[in-house]
Structure 1
Amino acid sequence: MIEIFILFTIAVGLYMAWNIGANDAANSMATSYGSGALTLKQIIVIASVLEFAGAVLYGKRVTHTIAKGIVPIESLDPHLVALGALSAILGASLWITVATYYQLPVSTTHSIVGAMVGFGLAAVSQNYLSIGDIQWGVLYKIVLSWILSPIMGAILAFLIFTVIRYAILMRFEVSAVEHIFKYLQILTACYMAFAHGSNDVANATGPMAAAMGYIGAETPPWVLVIGGLGIAVGIATWGYRVIEMVGKRITELTPTRGFSAEFATATTVLFASSLGMPISTTHTLVGSVIGVGFAGGLASVDLSVVKRILASWLLTVPIAAGIAIVLYTLMVVFV
């Protein structure tokens, strides 16, 4: 029975990692596709390799945080922790699959946090925890990041592209400048892919580690390998849907615009990390792309697409939490 549960947990963790690759990891390369700096095939190869490397080499610390930073699982029976973590992974995964189908770039971090909160609320309803035991401060920071990260990304991208436009594009031959920035943009995209893999792999491996009892212990390398492999496969099989949305449908992108968006995103994420603030690469990059679009005038941005994306962001945590509550309740009854 235990062996079957572990195999099922691994399968669900792999499914979550596949979702991360299909939706979230696609963000790191979407602007390179939109600007024409890289083809879709090149993106799949480069992103798969770098996301996998980031996940395996640097993913263990964030995995530990996601595993026990929201719900005080050390206060619960290990059996309930296993069921709760499993329901969180599956609940978040199902929501991300739906979002990817509709080409909506949602935050996998917010999805798994929402699902873990759902598990915590279900445990509270069953009197295993009190409402005060859940780390509401983490949720407060995440809600704050919803507001701050896309705005900061948009402002930085707007300013960076405006400087490039007046300091470089208006003084030199545009085609030559865009050609140079094509290579600069590829470098920033590669950096973002590696960094994303090292951070967001925890959205799959954190709850998986919790379900299998690796709390307070070193996360086994094979867990990170599963996460990295799932992300790589997700990019290769379904990542094109979100790449198309972010890279092509929000605003027209050139190498200078794509570089501005990626540089602004990387800077914003780095600044937030230094403050210890949980932040969404998805929200930041989309905000940066919108900021670059606004630099070309309001008419340059497809506001109908932006509204759809914003609606999906607002729905992510409550939907993921709701699905996790239902799944956890069913598992407690039948498992």
Structure 2
Amino acid sequence: MTDVFIWLTIAVGLYMAWNIGANDAANSMATSYGSKALTLRQIIIMAGILEFLGAFLYGKRVTHTIAKGIVPIDALNSNLVVIGALSAILAASIWITVATYFHLPVSTTHSIVGAMVGFGLAAVSQDYIRLEDIQWGALYRIVLSWIISPIAGAVIAFLLFTIIKISLLSRFSNESVEHVFRYLQVLTAGYMAFAHGSNDVANATGPMAAALGYLGTETPAWILMLGGIGITIGIATWGYRVIMTVGERITELTYTRGFSAEFATATTVIMASTLGMPISTTHTLVGSVIGVGLAGGIASIDLSVVKRIIASWLLTVPVAAGLAIVFYTLMVVFL
């Protein structure tokens, strides 16, 4: 029975990776679409390649955090770990699919972290572990990074665009400056795609690694490769839905604005990946886009879209945790 659940976890992990590509493709490429630096077809090809490389080459650290940094899976038997990992990844995947259908750029990181917490709380309720056994200190640091990352993205993007505006746009013709930044934005789009793959692949591969017993930093390359493939397929099939929301509906994006938002987001995410912190690329990117918008004045931001996005963010952790508790409880009771 355990083998069956392990294979189910791998299958659902691939589904989760597909969801990451379908929803979080917006994080790496939406600003390039909004500024028209790249066409949708070019975005799919470029994002697919660089997201895969980021996941495969640099996704190991955050995978370890998701796999072992929240729930003390060493204290549980292997059957419960597999059931918990499957419950968490299934809960997060379902929520992200629903959000993507409604064009909402929710955080896949929040989804899987919330779902893993739900798994831990369910195990506590059944006396398999104690409440204090859950890694609350690590969870506190993760949540703190969620608050810091969009602020950091907004500040960096605001400052960068302000510098560009003062040093270039005010001295040279807007047309000539924007022409140069069209090509620079293609580079930052690639940078963003690589950064996103390096951080968010763990949302699929972390529970897979836990279920398969890879609890150290030695996550096998094939798990990271599977996650990268799933992300690429998600981008190619359903990624356009959220790309349009983030790229077109928050604020007007020129090449200089898109460059600033992408550079700020990618830099923040790469720093987090280096530290092994599963931050929300969605929050960071939206924060960066808002920061660029603020540099042009608050009137340039569509606050109704921002409010709708924030509402979906607030729902993510409790919904994912609740679904994980339900799935875990049902599996333990009936199997």
Q: TM-score, normalised on structure 1?
A: 0.95
Distance 1:88 1:59, change over 3 A: same
Q: Give aligned pairs, total.
A: 335
Q: Which residue of 1 aligns with 2:52?
A: 52
Unaligned 5+ segments in structure 2 are none
After TM superposition, give the deviation of residue 276 of structure 1 in Å. Answer: 6.2
Preserved CA contact (<8 Å) 1:184 1:259? yes
Preserved CA contact (<8 Å) 2:20 2:231? yes
Q: Which residue of 2 aligns with 1:178?
A: 178
Q: Which residue of 2 aligns with 1:32?
A: 32
Q: Which residue of 2 aligns with 1:148?
A: 148
Q: Which residue of 2 aligns with 1:315?
A: 315
After TM superposition, give the deviation of residue 194 of structure 1 in Å. Answer: 1.1
Q: Which residue of 1 aligns with 2:201?
A: 201
Q: Which residue of 1 aligns with 2:85?
A: 85
Alpha-carbon distance in 2 for matches of 1:207, 1:69: 11
Identity of aligned residues (%): 78
Structure 1 stretches of at least 4 aligned residues deviating more than 6 Å after TM superposition:
none
Q: Which residue of 1 aligns with 2:138?
A: 138
- 1:178-199 Cα offsets, whole Å, 9 max, x none, are 1110111111110111121122
AA aligned to 1:228 is G
Q: Which residue of 2 aligns with 1:41?
A: 41
AA aligned to 2:255 is P
Q: Which residue of 2 aligns with 1:161?
A: 161
AA aligned to 1:190 is G
- 1:119-173 Cα offsets, whole Å, 9 max, x none, are 0000000011111011112222233233322222222212211111121012112
Q: Which residue of 1 aligns with 2:214?
A: 214
- 1:215-240 Cα offsets, whole Å, 9 max, x none, are 23732222222111110000011110
Alpha-carbon distance in 1 for matches of 2:212, 2:145: 30
AA aligned to 2:12 is V
- Which deviates the most, 194-203 or 300-309? 194-203
- 1:239-275 Cα offsets, whole Å, 9 max, x none, are 1011101100000000000011112212333455566
CA RMSD of aligned residues (A): 1.6
Q: Which residue of 2 aligns with 1:5?
A: 5
Preserved CA contact (<8 Å) 1:110 1:142? no
After TM superposition, give the deviation of residue 214 of structure 1 in Å. Answer: 2.3
Which secondary structure state, in structure 2, belongs to the residue aligned with residue 25 of structure 1? helix
Unaligned 5+ segments in structure 1 are none
Distance 1:4 1:276, change over 3 A: closer
Preserved CA contact (<8 Å) 1:157 1:264? yes
Which secondary structure state, in structure 1, belongs to the residue aligned with residue 25 of structure 2? coil
Alpha-carbon distance in 2 for matches of 1:204, 1:274: 18
Q: TM-score, normalised on structure 2?
A: 0.95
Preserved CA contact (<8 Å) 1:141 1:278? no
After TM superposition, give the deviation of residue 6 of structure 1 in Å. Answer: 2.9
Alpha-carbon distance in 1 for matches of 2:85, 2:3: 17
Alpha-carbon distance in 1 for matches of 2:63, 2:276: 15
The answer as to 2:149 corresponding to 1:118 is: no
